[in-house]
């Protein structure tokens, strides 16, 4: 067991001062070559690595990014993390991930913990409960302390900060339009409860597409699901209406449940029922039939969010507050669930 070596120990061994060791290792020209090389050789031999914590304290920055997301087992969020990691690592930042578990309290706790010196800035997506309560004081507070925050996907207008989103409304619009273009007359919507920001926006896009095409919009064709596990009954009730020829779902879990339910009821996808879902998930690629999706491109969102945060962290003029909202383009990936 050989503990990590410190500057102090090197200094003692070599009988020089700590300052001399520090400067030598940072290749300072202040130090004579002989001393410098001697110190460097010694440090290398003992595999000296500076202590990050001491550096953080000294520099008052940690070169770490905090990520707060609702859940990690959702493929979309994993994808975003991947995107963030890529860019962060390129720029010498590490990444600390905390899960809010869609709970307001955990979100607040995690943010407070990370904000106390552990990280230089946040990338986050709001928990459901936070969106429901519409209480964002913890975020305001962090921003007021001068710590930059980038929000993605589940964002809110009530906070001024950089954001990375997709245009949920127009992406939904296009998806529904494509169904209409394919001759679908009666399109149902399977969405979340309204307080989930992206669910609401996608609903708006759905409605607008219908109206723009002169299709009467029917409340009964919209179902708002709170809990994925119990949605099968609601969906099967919806599909009783045999005239429904397409379903637009705001995520792939809803979509695949529609397919399964439809199959059980003797409906074939896509012959009797076309289905499109929002997602960047993996189920769509492997379900039978595979599902046509509006791709959210989580990698790109993550890349962009990390880039925005790091830019802000490393910009000189910290005070300029020209926050921007980056909109990542989406596109329809046509698979077997539509015809």
Binding-site member from 95, 234, 265, 332 for a second copy (CB under 8 A):
95
Residue 6 binds which one of DNA, a second copy, none, with CB within 5 to 8 A depending on kind? DNA
C-beta of residue 60 within 8 angstroms of C-beta of residue 119: no
Q: Does 34 bind DNA (CB under 7 A)?
A: yes
The listed partner (a second copy, DNA, none) that binds 268, CB under 5 to 8 Å by sort, is none
Using rule CB under 8 A, residue 228 touches a second copy:
no
**According to the binding rule CB under 7 A, does residue 51 interact with DNA?**
yes
Contact yes or no for 13/31 (Cβ under 8 A): no
Q: Does 8 bind a second copy (CB under 8 A)?
A: no
Q: Site size for DNA, by CB under 7 A?
A: 27
Q: Look at strands 292-295 and 331-333 and give their pairing.
A: antiparallel
Select the residue interacting with DNA from 12, 13, 41, 55 (CB under 7 A): 55
Least separation in angstroms between CB 80 and a second copy? 10
Q: Which stretch binds a second copy (CB under 8 A): 49-57, 176-184, 197-205, 219-227?
A: 49-57
Residue among 235, 222, 242 nearest 261 (CA): 235
* CB burial readout 96-125, b (16+ within 10 A) else e: bbbbbbbbbebbbebbeebbeeebbbbbbb
The reply on whether position 20 binds DNA by CB under 7 A is yes
The strand pairing partners of 67, in sequence order, are 97, 123
Shortest Å, Cβ 62 to a second copy: 7
Q: How far is the CB of 309 from DNA (least distance, A)?
A: 21
Q: How far apart are CA 95 and CA 120, in angstroms?
A: 10
Q: Interface with DNA by CB under 7 A: which residues?
A: 6-8, 16-20, 22-23, 25-26, 30-36, 50-51, 54-55, 57-60
Q: Interface with a second copy by CB under 8 A: which residues?
A: 1-4, 47, 49-54, 56-57, 62, 64, 72-73, 75, 78-79, 81-82, 85, 89, 94-99, 106, 110, 112-118, 141, 144-146, 253, 256, 259-260, 263, 282-283, 286-288
């Amino acid at each position: 067991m050989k503990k990590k070596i410190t500057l102090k120990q090197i200094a003692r061994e070599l009988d020089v001062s700590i300052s001399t060791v520090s400067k030598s290792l940072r290749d300072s020209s202040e130090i004579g070559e002989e001393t410098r090389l001697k110190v460097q050789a010694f440090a290398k031999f003992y595999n000296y690595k500076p202590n990050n914590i001491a550096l953080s304290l000294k520099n008052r920055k940690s070169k770490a990014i905090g990520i707060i997301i609702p859940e990690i087992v959702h493929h979309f969020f994993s994808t975003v993390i991947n995107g963030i990691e890529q860019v962060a690592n390129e720029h010498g930042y590490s990444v600390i991930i905390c899960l809010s578990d869609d709970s307001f309290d955990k979100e607040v706790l995690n943010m407070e913990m990370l904000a106390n010196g552990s990280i230089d800035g946040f990338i986050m997506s709001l928990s459901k409960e936070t969106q429901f309560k519409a209480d964002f004081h913890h975020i305001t507070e962090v921003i007021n302390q001068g710590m930059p925050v980038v929000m993605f996907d589940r964002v809110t207008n009530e906070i001024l900060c950089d954001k990375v989103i997709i245009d949920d409304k127009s992406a939904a619009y296009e998806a529904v339009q494509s169904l209409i273009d394919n001759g679908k007359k009666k399109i149902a919507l399977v969405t979340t409860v309204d307080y989930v920001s992206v669910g609401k926006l996608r609903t708006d896009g759905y409605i607008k597409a219908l109206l723009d095409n002169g299709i009467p919009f029917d409340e009964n064709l919209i179902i708002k699901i709170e809990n994925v596990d119990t949605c099968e009954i609601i969906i099967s009730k919806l599909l009783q209406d045999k005239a429904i020829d397409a379903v637009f779902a705001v995520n792939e879990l809803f979509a695949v449940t529609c397919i399964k339910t439809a199959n059980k009821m003797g409906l074939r996808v896509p012959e009797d029922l076309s289905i499109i879902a929002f997602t960047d998930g993996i189920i769509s690629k492997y379900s039978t039939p595979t599902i046509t999706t509006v791709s959210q491109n989580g990698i790109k969102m993550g890349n962009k969010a990390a880039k925005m945060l790091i830019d802000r962290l490393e910009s000189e003029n910290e005070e300029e507050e020209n926050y921007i909202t980056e909109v990542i383009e989406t596109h329809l990936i046509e698979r077997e669930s539509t015809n």
